[in-house]
Amino acid sequence: MKNFVVKTIANAGALAVAVWLLDKITLTGDSTAKKAGTLIVVALIFGLVNWLVKPIVKVLTFPLFILTLGLITLVVNALMLLLTSWVCGKLDLSFHVEGFWTAVLGGLIVSVVSWALHVVLPDED
């Protein structure tokens, strides 16, 4: 359970950095507390999307992983971020990613920041 909480906090922090750095990734809210709550829910959705959909996409695109020496990972991460944005739109959450290239850059930022936070934060059950 502790591992799940740590990963969710790391995802929320990584998404917050992406929102902060990129103008076309937006998170709106009335107050800071509401934005933080929305960010936690978005991080949960992002984690769920990565847990359910990403392995299927990786298996289906395995030849592309070999052909591009893993660079297709950037596209897969971008698609997961766009899917998260779409799900958040359907759930009336105020998180939106505008455009594919913004999602590619946002996916790169989320990956790097999430990796750095996983290095710093404890990872035990």
Answer whether 117's CB lies under 8 Å from 92's CB. no
Three-state DSSP state, 77:
helix
Mean per-residue pLDDT pooled into runs of 10, the chain (125 residues): 81 92 91 90 93 92 91 92 95 93 94 86 65
Helix (H) or strand (E) holding 97: strand 95-97
Count of domains forming the chain:
1
Backbone angles phi, psi at 97, to 5 degrees: -110, 125
List pLDDT tens digits, range 57-86.
Answer: 989 999 999 999 989 999 999 999 999 999
Residue 69 per-residue DSSP state: T
Domain that holds residue 16: 1-124
pLDDT value of residue 124: 64
Asked if 3 and 123 touch (Cβ cutoff 8 Å), the reply is yes
